[in-house]
Structure formats: structure tokens, C-alpha cells
Amino acid sequence: MIGRAAARGWATQRDRAGNLVVRVPATAGRERAPTVILQGHLDIVCERDPASPYDPRAGRIHVVRDGDWLRADGTTLGADNGVAIAAMLALVEDGAPHGPLELLMTVAEEVGMAGAAELDPDLIGGSVLLNLDSEEDATLTVGCAGGADTVVRFEAPREPLGADAVRVTVSGGRGGHSGGDIDAGRSNAIKLLGRALAAAPRLRIASLDGGSSRNAIPRDAVAIVAGDAGAIARAGAEAAGAYDRTDPGVRVEVERGGAPPAGAWTAAASARIVDLIAALPHGPLGMSADFPGVVETSTSLGVAATEGDRLALTCLSRSANDALIGEVTRAIAAAARLAGAEAEPGRRYPGWRPDLGSPVLATATAVHERLFGAPPHVNLTHGGLEPAIIGARKPGLDMLSLGPQIEGPHAPGERLHAGSAERFTRLLAALVDELSR
């Protein structure tokens, strides 16, 4: 992006966190207009189906046009939030009229909004911020949930296994965004794996791993254990059957054989692990009183990782009411203590409280009605958005979020509706034009 800006003579600046701002001069006659900040993040969630030859982490994303939709073959598409960067460039490179612009491109949004959390407020000087990270067509987002990470660490000595091990695999879940899709009733592979393992008496766990992103609902999980394979298989089939409507492809498979592990947790320690996974909350915990049908508070168990004698479980809790997040994290910490584990607080970020009297909201609503003949939907999202953090670091900004229709972000199958992307870029250009008059 720095190279692209330099080729066009646009000034750039980065802060210590790596966030980038590109300063685009106004088009002729708009030089005295207020500066508008267009903001999105540069990183994406890199999820892939295990059998896919493509891998976003290695830069291999195979884009497919499927009717009115764009998707990637076997991986995430990266529309979240590549579409923001593309929209910024389309606006300024296509010659749309605008006042002075600051294209703010943040880093590490998908790992706790670390870039926004460390943003140097002096990097930006505009008074209006348009975040381009929403995922609903014809919708203006005016607020979002805050979030808090918690890592639960269970540690106990391991002993030689002395028994044949089996591999228990959960796969085929739909996954999805742990904010936007948390109320879809989809399976959590780590929780499903724990439920299957709980059926085996005197179970011993050698390893348990699942999920790959703290903010994605886990689609896959695997454990190497010694225990009653038949009991695990029966319990796994029953557990998977509970999701035949939301995750018709989810399955629990038990395989015998393979190289035996060097050691495993004792039966007592393994029982505490299974209980801990069962006790950790996952899913919606409360609904918004101001926006009917919108989740206000939730939590998600996103990643499980075996690290020697330690099992680490990563949870992400969200709420549009900052006062409720502590209630959720205390519940997670209590479950950890009861299992003899430790809960380590991680990054925490605030929510973005809606301002329904916002001037930029009024302008965007009028522009939408003029372009499309109907008012937009005004919404609060349960996903985290960077304006919550940027607004806290740069008080006084008038903020709004908009975007095209994106479905299934954070999981393979993520797709972008082409028609909504066209409407989104038209709305953005017209709004920037109006704000610079």
C-alpha cells in the first residue's frame, strides 16, 4: 500500500504499531472541506479446509464467481476486510469528488484489535470516521460490542500411557464469526469433542487441540486419548446429531492405531479437563433491550492447544454493555478455579455506544434514500469494530460503519455479494461527496 501510494504522489505515515495512513489531497474545488477518515484493516482470518490445496497464510486464495457471489475455494475469502481497502482505492482512483481524505489502514484487527488499541491519535486529523468493516447490505452500523480475551491454562503432570491410544476427530462444522454468528446455534468443535470424551470412564488424554482463531467458532478439533472407543463413538454420534439442522456435515470419528504418545494426563486430571470444557460457557448470554433480536452479551471458546503438560483454552467474551463483560470473565475464571486451572486476562477493548443524533448518520441516511429510494437499516452489531477503540483514543470523532453483504466470515465459504458491493461503493462515493460540499 505504501508503494501504491508513493506511485501516485500521496503522502504516507505509520505509527509504532504499524498502522498506516495515506493522505489523499482533495479534488479541485474541495480543498477547504473537512477531512474525512476512511478506515479498514489490512489483515484477514486465514482459515482453510484441511484438504484444500489453497492457503491464505501462504497467499493462495482461489476466487470463484458463483452467480451473484464471490467466494474462495476451500478457504476464507478475505472480504473481511479486504473489501475496505479495495473500496478506498476505488473511490480515489476512479476520480470521485472528495475533500481531503485520510485512508487509515490498521493492522492486527483479527488478533484482538491490537493495531487500533495502539493507534497513535496524532496519526489522524479528520473529524468524521467512516469504518468500512460492516457486513450487511443497506445497513448503517452505529455501535458494536466490546470484548475481552481470557486464556484458561490447565497444568498437571503427565505419566506413561501404557495403553493403546485412539484418535478422536470432530470435523465438518460450519464455524463462522464468533460475534455475528454466535446466535446461529452452530456446533463448537471443542465443546463437541469434550462431550464425546466425557462418555469414556477412566479416560486419559494425551493431547487436545482445536480451533485456529480466537474470534472464529471452531470447526475442527482432535484429541489423542486412551479410553473406551465405542462409548466415545456413540456419544459423539449423539452429540453431532443435535446439530443436524445447523451443521449437517459435522461428524465425530474415532480411529484406532497410530504411534502411541509418550505420555498422557492421569484419569483424574483428564476428568477435570473434560469438566472444564463442559463448564466454560459458549453462546449468547443476553439480548439487547434497545435493538430487538440483537445479541448484547456472549462468549466463545475459540482455541484449544496442548503445550507439554499444559492445556490452553482461549475464550473471547463480548458485550455492548461494558459493565457486563466482567460478569462473564468472572464466570470463566470461576470455572477455571473449580477445575484447578488458572484464568489469565488478555486484551480488552470497549464497546461503541450508539449516537442516534449523529450528523454523519443523518447525512448517510439522506444519501441512501436519495440513491436507493428507501431508508437504510440502522443497526448495532455484536461483532467488535475498531471505531470503539479509535473513538476512545481520539475523542470527538463522528463515526459510522458501512459495508456490503458478506456471509460466513472467519470460515471457509465466506462470500461477498457482488451487487451489494456495487451499491456499497456507490453509497460511499456519494456520502464522501456530500460530506465535502
Catalytically annotated residues: 43, 109
Beta strands at 146-155 and 69-72: parallel, antiparallel or unpaired: unpaired
Q: Which of 150, 131, 149, 152 is nearest to 140 (CA)?
A: 131
Distance (Å, whole) CA 20 – CA 83:
17
Distance (Å, whole) CA 217 – CA 434:
39
Here the contacts of 180-184 (C-beta below 8 Å, separation 24 or greater) are: 180/135, 180/381, 180/382, 180/383, 180/409, 181/217, 181/408, 182/217, 182/283, 182/284, 182/295, 182/298, 182/300, 182/318, 182/382, 183/283, 183/284, 183/295, 183/298, 183/382, 184/246
Decide if 431 contacts 363 (C-beta within 8 A): yes
Q: Which residues pair with 344 in a beta bridge?
A: 151
In b/e form, how buried is each residue of 364-379, taking b as 16+ CB within 10 angstroms?
Answer: bbebbeeeeeeebebb
